[in-house]
Structures are given as structure tokens and as C-alpha cells.
Copies of this chain bind each other. A is one copy, B any other.
Amino acid sequence: MTLTGHNYIAGETSAEGIELFYSVDPRTKSRGEQAFHSAAKSEVARAAEAALVAHQQMRGTSSARIADLLDEIAAQIGALGDELLHTADRETGLGLPRLTGERDRTTGQMRAFAELLREGSYLRAIINSGQPTIRQMQFPVGPVAIFAASNFPFAFAVAGGDSASALAAGCPIVVKAHPGHPATSELFAQAMTAAVAAQGFPAGTFSMLQGAGIDVGQWLVAHEAIEAVGFTGSLRGGRAIFDAAAARPRPIPVYAEMGSINPVVITQAALAARGDAIADGLVGSVTLGSGQFCTNPGLILLEDSAASQAFIRSVSAKMEAAPAGVLLNEAVAAGLESTVSQTASNPQIELLTGGEPTAGEAFCYRNTVLQTRAAAIRAHSGLQTEHFGPVTLFVLCDDAQDLHATISALEGNLTSTLHAEADEAVGDTLSLLREKAGRVIWNDFPTGVAVVPAMQHGGPYPATTAPATTSVGTNAIYRFMRPIAFQNVPDALLPAPLQDANPLGILRLVDGEYSQAPLG
């Protein structure tokens, strides 16, 4: 494929912006040849307006047609071939094995939503016969703005989970690409644009805007045509988008996933039974993807004991021995250096290993282990700051009460984990951990998010701005739908999923009973 460095707006490329930026290879810090144009305000408006026109044209489009579009996108991504992998590897340093797996996940997500649409029960059709007859189902909210993440250049980016779920809902999308991987983004934009055209959808169904700074995103969120926002990124970035959306004359919802420190509690019995295995698992989880996962285990809580101290020494040694991975880009490297320095400057914090960038030409930071006491976590909320990289912080608790008080003082997280033995009385600990997260994990590690309907990838603020929703799994679609009820509307004017005959044969809740049967 030929790169243009342009924005993709409703099927056309466009380069009105004067600001240029470039890819940087994080392994060598060398700049790519292709210049990319940050979108101009006029281009942002054009993309949003085209999405609104597409929304109006797509009204009444069947779930089956949208499913075909999602399958086509998956096929077009596949057709990008290995060029996609090599381009992304150059821009992110994530390596081909990881990127190959992530590509499968990305196309798999598209196909999973297609399957959901063809099955049909996701529409949550409800019918109450009687006088009046009320029938309700879910409808697309309209144009959605999506902010791509840096750390998943495929699965949470231009054609990632937010895009898949918004398109599946029937919403046109305008994606703000992440400036860390503009060439990768352009390849996806080409695939999406081709898929939209091949399936005969309105051109405004998809647009992608490049942008090195925050202007493009702020313009996009403020645009009147945008009805909802999906965001994956930092707390600072997510909160800025949330604030801008809430301050609009007509506020819109922001579904921001903003990372997490993912507390892990390990009991003494678990340490005794399988401390070495837990240490290996933990080191693997902390260093996976150079630690650049929103589910990275960043806070490990243990009761203080000789066994706990030996465990921490063992983890520190393994962390020190493990190779330091490449970081995504300069911004991540600088952010990591800054947040770890800030944490380490707290007199309550002990640095056990790492704590500085590696020598060498790559963006790279030493695997880092920090340690403190539980009381310090409760006293300094700044110690709950995410370190986006291969860093974890051990927290020694005096006893169970100290542990429980500290869990209670935690902010919201995507996940919380308990390592314990089956015969331990840990119900209270698990209940407390549950209050702080969207997913509770038992004797496992938080990295690795299964893309299944029961998955919940979300959690209380500051993990997300919308704890009742998920950004992974098929329920992610409900962020971009709203129910509409029809009162006494004649059959011929109803959408097919609500018609008496149930022509699509979908599961509906009819007068309190789930049924795929026709009415009456």
C-alpha cells in the first residue's frame, strides 16, 4: 500500500493542515520518511458532518448488512498482509509475534460483533402487549468519536474494539488516530475505507484524522454532530476529553478507559504453597509488552513476614534479570521516567531495582521494583499513580486489618486479584477487592483479557469515566446504543425486530417471557 500522510475523510484523502509529524522507530529513535498532516479544524468538521449524513442515510440499515460490513473490514485487514505487521513493529517496537496475535484479536473482534448482530438478541427487544402496546429495542446513537490508544496499535486503535462496537451498533465513526503509529493507522484507514465502499455504506461511515497534539481531539469532541466518545489512553487525556464533552451546550457521554494500577493481594498460604510460581507469573505479567498494559499489576499487597520479604527479593532479582523491553515512544518513555521519579522521591518509598532508563539507543527503561508500607499508600494518594511501563510497587501490611483498610482506600481499578489457597477464609478480602474493580481475578494474572461476553473491562473512576460499561467483549456495543419505545405503532411502520411476526426470529422479552416465537 502507498502511504500518503493524509487524513481519510468520508472516502477521500485530505491534507489541509500545516502541522506535520513523523513516525519514530522506538528501537533506534530514527524518524520515518513519511510526513503526516495533523488535521485542520475544517477537516474535523467535514468528518463529523459526513458522519451525521451517513447516520441519516443508515437509518433502518439491518443488522445483517452491518454484520457484512464488519466481516468485510476483517477481510480487508487480513488483505493488508505482513506489511501491516512490519509497519506497526517499526512504529511501536512491539515485535512480530505480539502483533500477529493482536491482529487476530482485532479481526476476531470484528467477526464476533458480526455474529452478535446476526443472532439478534443484543437488540434487547421487549414487547408489552395490552393497551397501549409498548415495544422497545436498541438503536444507534449517531456519530461516534473514537480515540485510539498507543499500546494496542491494532486492537484499541483505528479498527479496534471501540470502532468495532460503534460500527456494530450502527454508528458512523470518526477516529482520532494515535500519533505514535500514524503509518499503521493509515493502513487501517485504507482497509476501512475499502470495506465501507465495497459494502455500499455511505462514505461518511468512516473517517480517520491524524493529529500530533490535542487540538484535533478537542475540536472533534466539541463538534455538535458527535453523540458519544470512546477513548483509551491516559487519565490526563481521558479526563480532558470528559471535561470537554460535559461542558458542551449539549453534553455527550465519554467512555474513557484510562488505565489502572491493578492491585494484587497474595496471602501467606499462597506464598507458602506456590511462591515461586507466583513470582514467575508476576514478573511475566509486569514485563509483558514492556509493562505497557492497562491491566499491568502495579501494586502488590502482602502481609509483612520473612516469607513475604524473601518473595519480594526473589521478584526483584527476576525483574533485574529479565531483559528490559522497548517502550512505545518518547512520550511513554518520558512519562514513565517522570512518574517513577515522582514516586521514588517519596521518603516512604524504597527502590529495590531499576528506576532509570537503560543505556543504549532505544526508548527503554529498566524493569523496576519499588516497596513501601500500607500506611504510606493510605496517606499519599499520589502513590496510586499508574507507572506505564515495567514497574510494580510492593506494599507491606502489618496484618489483615491493615490490608483491608488499604484496599478500602484504593481508587477504582480495571482489575483486582487475589492469590490465596482454596481453604482460606478470604471472603471479606474478595468483597473489598470487588468494590474497587470491574474484574476480580483468582490465582491468575490481570494481563490477558478474554474477549468473551462475560468479560468486564471497565471499573470505577479513575479506571474509567463510565463504570457501568465495558470496552472489551460484546456488551461494549451498548455504549453506542439507546432504547426507543414505540407506543401503538402499526406493524408495518415498526422496525423488523419488533414486528408481530418476528421475521428475524430473534429472542425477545414478550410480556415477561423470553421467546423467539411470533406474537399472539
A1: interface (CB < 8 Å):
no
Is the pair B456, A483 in contact by a Cβ cutoff of 8 Å?
yes
Q: Which residue on B lies nearest to A462, using beta carbons?
A: B250
Residues of B close to A250: CB separation below 8 A: 411-412, 461-462
Is the pair A453, B512 in contact by a Cβ cutoff of 8 Å?
yes
Is the pair B442, A484 in contact by a Cβ cutoff of 8 Å?
no
For chain A residues 154-170, which have a beta carbon within 8 Å of chain B? none
Q: A449-486 toward B: CB 8 Å interface, digit per residue (1/0)?
A: 01011111010111001111010000100100111111
Instruction: Contacts A126-B453, A128-B453, A454-B127 given; indicate if A470 touches B488 (C-beta within 8 A).
Output: no
Interface of A is mostly: loop
A507: interface (CB < 8 Å):
yes
A381 → B minimal CB distance (Å): 10
Interface centre among A452, A460, A467, A470 (most CB of B within 10 A): A452
A135: interface (CB < 8 Å):
yes
Residue in contact with A507 in the complex, picked from B130, B142, B247, B514, CB distance below 8 Å: B514
Complex alpha-carbon distance, A427 and B59, angstroms: 11
A434: interface (CB < 8 Å):
yes
Interface centre among A136, A242, A411 (most CB of B within 10 A): A136
Residue in contact with A134 in the complex, picked from B242, B455, B478, B481, CB distance below 8 Å: B455
A422: interface (CB < 8 Å):
yes
For chain A residues 14-69, which have a beta carbon within 8 Å of chain B? 59-60
Is the pair B444, A493 in contact by a Cβ cutoff of 8 Å?
no
Is the pair B427, A493 in contact by a Cβ cutoff of 8 Å?
yes
For the complex, count residues of A whose C-beta is within 8 A of B: 70
Residues of B close to A475: CB separation below 8 A: 483
A443: interface (CB < 8 Å):
yes
Residues of B close to A444: CB separation below 8 A: 132, 487-488
A216: interface (CB < 8 Å):
no
Interface residues of A (CB under 8 A from B): 59-60, 126-128, 130, 132, 134-136, 139, 141-142, 242-243, 246-247, 250-253, 411-412, 422, 426-427, 430-431, 434-435, 437-444, 450, 452-456, 458, 460-462, 465-468, 470, 475, 478, 481-490, 493, 507, 509, 512, 514
- Of the A-B pairs whose beta carbons lie under 8 Å apart in the complex, a sample of 17, sorted by A's number, is A59-B431, A128-B455, A134-B450, A136-B454, A243-B246, A246-B251, A252-B461, A253-B466, A434-B484, A438-B483, A439-B484, A441-B488, A441-B489, A453-B512, A454-B485, A454-B509, A460-B482
Closest CB pairs A-B (n = 6) = A456-B485, A246-B246, A134-B454, A128-B452, A126-B454, A442-B489
